Amino acid sequence: MSTGGGPLTDGPALRSQALAGEPLGIPIIDAHSHLLSPSMRDVFVPYAEPAQMVATMDVYGIDSACVSVLGAGDANAETMEAAAAFPGRLIGFHLINPRYPGSMLEDLEASFAQPGMRGIGEVHPTSYHHDYPVTGPNYRAAWEFAAARHLPVLIHSGPRSEAHRCRPDDIGRVAADHPQMNVLIGHAGGYDSWEMLDEAIAVTRRLDNVYLEICAMGRHYGALEYMVAKAGAEKIVYGSDAPFHDWSAEIAHVALAKIGDDAKAAIFGGTMTRLLGAAR
């Protein structure tokens, strides 16, 4: 079937494999997962060490996961180490901190001297992380760095209470100003609001370099089918937010959706393969 906005049909093969507890046998790239930074080590999160994450990925048939630390942005070395320890399995994404713009470019250059680093994110403008709006000037060095290298950039969006810092329209403004970088709208803009989801879909339809990343959206019945109908499966990428979210639930969100298997393959890995391949 077309991966665009045509009629939706259930994908029987992948659905049957998922219900049988079998790996799906297609490329799966998780566009949104994390390592635990030192500041979060006192919080119990199971299967959160890099080796444990890779072992869990093997169980679910996940080929690669794009990983980043959360926190102040002072633990990118851990991402580099994990990517080097598990080449091709853990793909490094660099966490930028807009509170320290003076060292941003130097930090990025140091990270991307390592071959396992392939993207930027999760950019976190929220009040509970960096508390700095996505349209602020302190990000400029990172956007220019990403554009020069055609990097994928994962930017957190939502919830509604954070709309003034990272709403989809503002993420779209950043993407429009830097068309050579590929922007993933984290959580598809609307994990607590259909209005924010519609806004994210509109941005994705308007701009060729913007994509919907869907972790946490499985809590809304029919949300993925809605996104495929409105934006097309080729503009949607699978993400889990692991290890904070459970990989099995996030995989089931796509595998059991009432869309065709071609659409599922694009979401699970096809589009992200292309975006990572474009990065240099």
What is the pLDDT confidence band of residue 6, given thresholds at 50, 70 and 90? very low
76 or 40, which is more confident: 76
Geometric angle at alpha carbon 154, from 254 and 18, rounded to 5° = 15
Confidence (pLDDT) at 72: 81
For residue 41, the 8-state DSSP code is T
Return the residue matching tokens 């690669």: 64
Distance CA 76, CA 108 (A): 9
CATH 2.30.40.10 fits 12-22+53-278, yes or no: no
Q: How far is CA 244 from CA 34, 145, 146, in A?
A: 8, 29, 27
Confidence (pLDDT) at 39: 62
pTM over 0.85: yes
> What Rg value do the Cα atoms of the chain yield, rounded?
17
Confidence (pLDDT) at 41: 66
Q: What is the mean pLDDT of the chain?
A: 92
- Mean pLDDT score, 126-143: 96
DSSP percent split of the chain into helix, strand, coil, nearest 5: 45, 15, 40
252 or 12, which is more confident: 252
pLDDT tens digit sequence for 185-227:
999 997 898 999 999 999 999 999 999 999 999 888 999 999 9
Extract the tokens encoding 171: 């993420």
Confidence (pLDDT) at 208: 98
